[in-house]
Structure 1
Amino acid sequence: MSKPFATVAITKHGVELSRGLAEHFPGTDLYYMSKFARGDEQEKGYRMFEGSVKLILPDLFKAYSGLIIFISLGAVVRMIAPILEDKKKDPAVVVVDDRGEHVISVLSGHLGGANELTRQVAEAIGARPVITTASDVQQTIPVDLFGRSFGWEIESFDRATPVSASVVNEERVVVVQEAGETGWWTYDKPLPPHIRVCASAREAMNAEFDAALVVTDRLLDGDEEAALLANGVLYRPKTLVLGIGCNRGTPAEEIEETIVTALAELGLSWKSVRNVATIDLKKDEEGLLAVCAKYRWKLAVYTPDELNRVPLRNPSDTVYRYTGAYGVSEPAALLSAGASDWLLEKRKSGNVTISVARVSLPAPEGAAV
């Protein structure tokens, strides 16, 4: 299954609508009952099935990130009920009525992307999108999607449901933003008065609130965790760049240990690492590539000339003799982050040198990020 979405139909009108959608909606595999075959299915890559659609749904659930089903809502609910697992795993499910008038977001509206899929399908076929998620209806913060467009990662998800309830019930909510992109409020209206933005954990802890959304690349201390995450969700923005230099053949374990130790001493989360940066001579360094693969970090590489354009406080003639650059980890970190200074200028540990920089982003109002 090479495409992300599957469209399923079991009626004559549903097949007509689904064929039209498949022609104009990229990334869609089409399934319908073989009795409606027209003879061009093999040519177009459409898939036929016999018997009840209920028999193929479990396999479609596993194979696709979204299902667009041209069947009545009640029937779909009954058929998918036995195969539901978890909101973090279940695919998006969208239902379209037999006349193509309404597209309904049924399952995994936020995490699975059903709400957005509903809007896209409705636009494609000229239908009305039906979305009932409270945060969408009220045009407020969707807790389980907060910052996803920026690549933020949710570290603590346990309290997502009660925190979402606080947001939609207009209880007192603090958004603690110490790092990360600030353009998360996209509605054409002011931020509601029950949502307050704080530039630091300490500022929020001095306020009265019922729920917290905490956006930081910093490790929280015990008091902060107790105060903010008792009814809060912690988000890790991708704000850190690791500049790495190492000797040829350095084991992945040594590189990883150097990274973990440096971040722990700085009080920073590895989940906020956006990428690793180094000199192009190291683009095939096996240990470095293994660490990047383990943590799913991209590797940015720069030529010696590019690295030498970055002013260094402590240029190294020794490094220059071996690489043609007066430094590797320090300038690579700054270049990749677009930063002017380091959180950690340079630390050498055995065969590895590490520098850390924070990605240059517009600072949250009132915060020194």
Structure 2
Amino acid sequence: MPLGEDGNGWKKKTSDIKEHYDFKEVLGTGAFSEVVLAEERGTQRLVAIKCIPKKALEGKENNIENEIAVLHRIQHPNIVSLEDIFESTSHLYLVMQLVSGGELFDRIVEKGFYTERDASQLIHQILDAVKYLHDMGIVHRDLKPENLLYYSMDEDSKIMISDFGLSKIEGAGSVMSTACGTPGYVAPEVLAQKPYSKAVDCWSIGVISYILLCGYPPFYDENDAKLFEQILKAEYEFDSPYWDDISDSAKDFICHLMEKEPMKRYTCEQALQHPWICGDTALDKNIHESVSAQIKKNFAKSKWKQAFNATAVVRHMRRLQLGTSLEGPSQITPTSPCHGLLLPEEEEEEEEEDELGNGEEESCKCTVHLRE
């Protein structure tokens, strides 16, 4: 079905998108699209616009329809929203809420003080947002730190979930089986190519929680086959000395989410009731030095990049605050990874495409983060 011909009227025709928005600078580029920082004419509101040539959509109409169907249904304070869609003769323009606070790992590394309680509050927000998705029958399927951005540069900024490129809306009686996601965060049942459900998101939240408390992933091996074997067996440890100062409650919380059997795994609702999230068991001890050192060691900076270059947004916002010139070339290189606010289509040029999928409609990119 051609884009937009479903009777929902979600597209706006335009002969020139720049009649509506003043393009400021390129935030990210990929093989099939470009994300631009733009200012809405009249309101001066900043947004991120994903510009997709229609030629790039040929054969991918189902992907974009799926993402639009997902995003149009979502209104949550911790989820990046799709605000508008424009279509010209040559392009589709997806106008997204701009989140300007930077990337999760950057903020943790920059902090001078970071505790279990900070991690607990982050996970609480993520759980609340994912529960909202699950209640709507939506499974994200690619939750990972790179898809978590801060809303603003404020110290107490909320966290935002982005990138719905692999999202799936559960139909009545439907079963998901396409193996997709990012290996280090993907649930055992996905790798086992078994039918799976929204429980895969809960596993991923467990992995993210683990990383937030130690700075390295629970599963790591330079050999993909060995990495997959670890995940399939749900083999992970709370290594000393990195976990010596972490509470038993935090470890218990992670164990309930990183449970091999999906039926035994905590749901978002159950996880929200755990004392590490809703009680007072999360410790206030400063773990910043250890966690930030491990993050810098185990997560290459080039791998942190999100749908658009968050650093460029922060830089631009600071220029606005300082009243300096907006002119000058963008600092974003042509090979900046653009994993997409929407389409999971781009990879860094030096990385080989590695699909876990079986050729179904989802294009599943795999980015492995290795501990050194």
Same-fold call, TM cutoff 0.5: no
Structure having greater relative contact order (Cα 8 Å, sep ≥ 6): 2
TM-score class, shorter-chain normalisation, is: under 0.3
Larger radius of gyration: 1
Higher strand proportion: 1
TM-score, length of structure 1 as denominator length: 0.25
